[in-house]
Structure 1
Amino acid sequence: MDLHLKDKNIVITGAAGAIGRELAQRLLDEGANLVLHELDESSLESIAAEAQATGRTVLTVGGDVRLPETQRAIAAAGAQLGGVNGFAPAAGIYVAHPFAEMTTEQWRTTISINLDAVATLTSTLLPHIRDNASLVYFASIAGERGSRNHAHYAATKGAIVSFMRTIAIELGGRGIRANAVAPGIIESPMTNDLVAASDGELERATPLGRLGRPGEVADAVTYLLSQRSSFISGAQIDVNGGLYMAG
């Protein structure tokens, strides 16, 4: 299926993470040009090297995504490509802290990375976002159901959906679409400790009986970035094997 992503310019943050890396590869396979961000820019070297063989343009940006100078560098890279057709802010953290023991600093760190940086980077990119672009945000099953020991994370993911829907309303007149994917428990370094502690409970609670794979989330994001989803906006797509239904 042609997803009509050839020569489209897509910005991905957290691009060296499990989902971000899979997403970058899929978009390269579809012929897109990329701006890839990661805290440690050197972690993007292998992706950039692979892209050179495809003839696609890949620009990389390193730095703390919360910082204005990092956000300006990401926006400048998007402008260098000629404007932004798609945006997928995958950068985020998932750290366990029981709420009764959570410090103000722990709360603010998660909020600043998972929510504040997403909003401010969207604003910084906005002058370079083309009409009919697609913005795909990362929600979570935690934003729907809550998550033990992750009150800060769950709060950011619930807020991301409200933010995304407001953006969809405000920018829809330009043909810009905004949607979100809500992963469940995905096999990745971010969830290793959680999965180990659950002793199989998470798999048993999931109707499909297994954990998700990063590529399955990347597939959903790629679809939402593409023109194949041209009349979908303000939607949250659950990519969690039915876990959101589990009691």
Structure 2
Amino acid sequence: MTVSFDFTGKTLLLTGAAGGIGREITALFYDAGANLVLLDMDDAALKDIAAGHDPAGERIAIMKMDSSSVADIDAALALAKDRFGGVDYLMPAAGIYPEQLVESMTDEQWRQVMTINLDGVFFLLKRALPIMRDGGAIVNFASLAGHRGSYGHSHYAATKAAIISLTKTLTLELGPRIRVNAISPGIIETRMTGDLLRTRGEQLVSSTPLGRNGQASEVATVSAFLCSTAASFVAGEVIHVNGGLFMAG
């Protein structure tokens, strides 16, 4: 797929950068000229990603970050300001997707998902606003589960439904200075969905009008569109990237 964007001189801050979708977003934005602040718990993966794209370290800054840690978030934002003067595009893509039925879920399991998938997003968004430049864009990551629920993933689904509402509220509060939108991926072939694809892959493909699973690159291009001038009048939207599975379901 060939899609052209120009983000020269702009800076993207991305959490979950070592994940499947995060890697594709990194590659697309780097090729489009952006500076990147890449954050993830997997420090070794971040170093490999940065070395593969920007061995001189001119346009990529990396930091190991726990998305639930306010101290780590503050340090990451200080890095973005010191290296690139601020942030134009913000994408909190870090998240976890454990499986656990409600009846056997512990309070600690519920709280862990809430802390990483929701609290961490709020902590980052709130603290990033002072260093976000006018005309910037926030792209949040919801999920098909946030609209339909997900068997065995009530905590995950609940956080993603909250992200949808948070996106709409931020649109009201931050416009016209910053546009806020969200993406709801469906079944995307990444490490995170590996177990799901092994157990229900054929069923899910048969239920999807396009007859296949999605690729991480197909989410990345939508994230770039939402940051680009092509989406200059798009705000408060949740873009489904699921091959029609949401509609068909």
* TM-score relative to the length of structure 2: 0.95
Aligned counterpart for 1:171 among listed residues 174, 178, 187: 174
Alpha-carbon deviation of 1:43? 1.2
Distance in 2 of aligned mates of 1:27 and 1:54? 17
Mapped partners of 1:115, 1:239: distance in 2: 21
Within 1, Cα distance between the matches of 2:50 and 2:241?
28
Matched AA of 2:133: R
* Equivalent of 1:138 in 137, 141, 149: 141
CA distance in 1, matches of 2:120, 2:248: 31
CA distance in structure 2 between the partners assigned to 1:199 and 1:225 by the alignment: 31
Contact 2:89 2:136 in 1 (8 A): yes
Q: Report the count of equivalent residues.
A: 246
* 1:178-233 superposed Cα distances (whole Å, 9 cap, x missing partner): 00000001111111111111151010011111111111111111111112211101
Structure 1: tracts of 5 or more residues without a match? none
Q: Which stretch of the first structure deviates more once superposed, 11-20 or 121-130?
A: 121-130
Structure 1 segments, 4+ long, off by >4 Å, are: 53-56
The answer to whether the 8 Å contact 1:135/1:179 transfers is: yes
What pairs up with 1:1-247 in 2 under 5 angstroms? Answer: 3-52=5-54, 56-80=58-82, 81-174=84-177, 176-247=178-249
How much does 1:47 deviate?
1.8
Alpha-carbon contact 2:16-2:95 (below 8 Å) kept: yes
Counterpart Cα distance in 1 of 2:138 and 2:44? 26
**3-state DSSP class of the match of 1:173?**
coil
TM-score normalised by L of structure 1: 0.96
Deviation at 1:56, TM superposition (A): 4.7
> Quick one: distance in 1 between partners of 2:65 and 2:140?
20
Q: Secondary structure at the match of 2:172?
A: helix
> 1:200 aligns to what SS in structure 2?
helix
Amino acid of the structure 1 residue aligned with 2:38 = L
SS in 1 for 2:226: helix
Residue 31 of structure 1 contacts residue 56 of structure 1 at CA under 8 Å; is this kept in 2? no
Whether the aligned pair in 1 keeps the contact of 2:186 and 2:245 (CA below 8 Å) is yes
Range that drifts further, 8-17 or 46-55: 46-55
Q: After superposition, what is the alpha-carbon deviation per residue over 1:165-190, rounded to whole angstroms, capped at 9, x for unaligned?
A: 1111101032x100000000111111
Post-superposition Cα deviations, 1:71-111, rounded to whole Å, max 9, x if no partner, equal: 01111122121111001111000011011111111111111
What is the SS of the residue equivalent to 1:16? Answer: coil
What CA distance in whole angstroms lies between the structure 1 residues aligned with 2:41 and 2:55? 25
Kindly state the Cα deviation for residue 4 of structure 1 after the two structures are TM-superposed: 3.4
